[in-house]
Amino acid sequence: MISRKAKSLPSPIPSSALHPWMDLFLEYILVEKGLAENSVAAYTTDLESLQRFLTRESLDLEQFSSRHGLLYLLHLRQTGLQNRSLARHLATLRGLFAFLVRERLIAENPLEKLENPKLPRHLPDVLSREEVTALLAQPNSNDKLGFRDRTMLELLYAAGLRVSELTGLRPGDVDLQAGLLRVFGKGRKERVVPMHASAGKYLEIYIQNWRPAFSPKAEVLFLNRSGKGLTRQGVWKLIKAYAQKAGIRQPISPHTLRHSFATHLLEGGADLRTVQILLGHADILATEIYTHVQTSRLKSQHQKHHPRSRASASQNQPLSPSDTNHAP
């Protein structure tokens, strides 16, 4: 068990009069679980909301029950939050109470049997292979910025990286000879992912020839004009601009390339477990969404290209009695 004395949390975690148990939980997810500060800040915001509810209801955290959980969700609903936000708040609370049970501060998790709000299933946006090729061709590989950008796009698609994983890469995380990357994902979980030869070649040339031209002031792999590390927002803006140049009309983000990586692997015959490992998903349920994407794309292609589908779409006429006489 961790220390009962809560430590001060580093910036940018906001300071607030939280219950000491909440402070312990935030310390745990920051120090022991290694969550990013942005994630811890989101947890803090959720816990501040819970603290305000407890204060308004003159309720101690120790007294919190499943009934209070329902009342709290109703309270959040009345403030205008939709199901997705409600589910996030509930996940924060479940994490808090699971931690308190593990630390033996309470006997049981009052939210363990509380069902999540139903969320609509949104299939992730995926680029076609042709769109990926067009996107990769946009950066001008004859200057340092363009070559850097081409290398980043190649890696995002070649290894299915999250943008935070890309911006966190260091030169020492690259094994060019083996064609492998050491990646630190959510919760600083480490995984090793392969990259194909094309991405490896771009990366080798970038490291040897172009990265020194940025006059590096940071240890990360990809640098901005000032030699400091690129931000996630910076990468997002670059990809959006290149997508517009490539004539890609759908909304696009760095995660779109990750979605495309997973979907194209499955379409090429990769098994779900392999894709789960490559993406760094803790739960295979998170990976299964790509099978739905694959099925949706197959149905779309079938409807578009099968001659009977085209015929029925153009005619859209019921069979006449004479037609049915010839049916097998």
Active-site residue identified among 19, 182, 186, 297: 186
Is 258 annotated as catalytic? yes
From 75, 94, 191, 281, active-site residue: 281
255 is catalytic: yes
Rounded to a whole number of angstroms, the CA Rg of the chain reads 25
186 assigned to active site? yes
Amino acid (1-letter code) at residue 211: R
299 is catalytic: no
User: Which is the catalytic residue, given 211, 258, 259, 264?
Assistant: 258
Asked whether 93 and 69 are in contact (CB, 8 A), the reply is yes
Compute the distance between CA of residue 227 and CA of residue 71 in angstroms, rounded to an integer.
51
| Cβ pair 227, 217 in contact under 8 A | yes
Angle between helix 83-102 and helix 20-27 axes, rounded to 10 deg: 90
Please identify which of the residues 89, 162, 211, 259 carries the catalytic annotation.
162
Sign, Cα dihedral of 272, 302, 133, 148: negative
Contact of 303 with 296, CB cutoff 8 Å: no
H helix runs in the chain, sequence order: 20-27, 37-56, 66-78, 83-102, 129-136, 144-159, 163-168, 197-205, 232-245, 254-267, 272-279, 284-287, 289-305, 307-315, 321-325
CA angle 14, 45, 112 (to 5 degrees): 135
Active site residues: 162, 186, 255, 258, 281, 290
